[in-house]
Structure 1
Amino acid sequence: MVSVVHNPSSVFPPYRGYVHALEVPAGSRLLFISGLNGFEQDGVTMPDSFESQAEIIWAHIRSILASAGMTVTNLVSLRTYLADPKHDEANAQMRAKQLGTHRVSSTVVCCQLLESKWKLEIEAVAAA
């Protein structure tokens, strides 16, 4: 799939490794990934640290993508919910680690999450 990036010069330059908009061509398969949290495979165990929860979530994203015959290069959009804005830098670094040079549309929202032990939740859209 060849997507089209839209970063018009009339809008401020994108920062922290994202694009303002990404156009998905007609006829593409779309995969919508629900918000994922840092539960381990047992659905009960969750580490305490932001970094550990984020690593688990990204492993879950990769597993779901693989089940659809996709990889992180198929991601077109991410929405990350942070329980605390102090995790913004760690989140940006984790996203860069996971995506490398691949760029997606991205939004980060700081809010109270459903459970107090959750540090973040990520939902995603992929296309192939």
Structure 2
Amino acid sequence: MSDRNPRIQKIATSPDWYHPYRISQAITAGGLIYVSGQAGFTEDGGTVPGGFLNQGRQAFRNVERVLAEAGANLTDVIKVGIFVRDLPANLPHVITLRTEFLAEPYPADTLLEITALAQPDWLIEVEVVALAPN
């Protein structure tokens, strides 16, 4: 396999919790940062207890940590993808999370209900696209 395009850079925290799965935590390309879906897990891979809001807060903190590694933060986010189990029950919580972690002008957003995530106890996953620092 040949090396990737040099204009594409991998972003990873330490520890890189996605390395064993052959996934980049984020990629920068073309002035943008593409952050892979982050769920409510800790650095050691354990799921945060306490339900949807706790998992959602941890997912956004994981996004923040990856963005920080790229020199960015949540104010640089232009697009959010939120994947949840049981959307009708959790929509008010999603709005709470958006209020806590995002600000005007709110990023474009896709919200999807899914039947399962990579781990059976995960309730939410968040991915973002952000502007890379100059």
- TM-score scaled by structure 1? 0.73
The RMSD of aligned alpha carbons is 1.6
Question: Does the aligned pair in 2 maintain the 1:113–1:120 contact within 8 Å?
Answer: no
Please state how far the C-alpha of 1:116 moved relative to its aligned partner: 2.6
Identify the match of residue 107 of structure 1 among 103, 107, 110: 110
Please state how far the C-alpha of 1:41 moved relative to its aligned partner: 1.2
**Greater RCO, 1 or 2 (C-alpha within 8 Å, sep 6+):** 1
1:38-53 matches, cutoff 5 A:
38-53=40-55
Identity across aligned pairs (percent)?
A: 26
- TM-score scaled by structure 2? 0.70
The count of corresponding residues between Structure 1 and Structure 2 is 102
- The secondary structure found in structure 2 opposite 1:63 is helix
* 2:128 alignment partner in structure 1: 124
Q: Distance in 1 between matches of 2:38 and 2:47?
A: 14
Question: Does the aligned pair in 2 maintain the 1:28–1:127 contact within 8 Å?
Answer: no
Q: Distance in 1 between matches of 2:57 and 2:105?
A: 18
Please state how far the C-alpha of 1:100 moved relative to its aligned partner: 2.7
Unaligned runs of 5+ in 2: 1-28
Unaligned runs of 5+ in 1: 1-26
Verify: 1:33 aligned to 2:45, yes or no. Answer: no
Q: Distance in 2 between matches of 1:112 and 1:127?
A: 31
Q: Distance in 2 between matches of 1:45 and 1:61?
A: 15
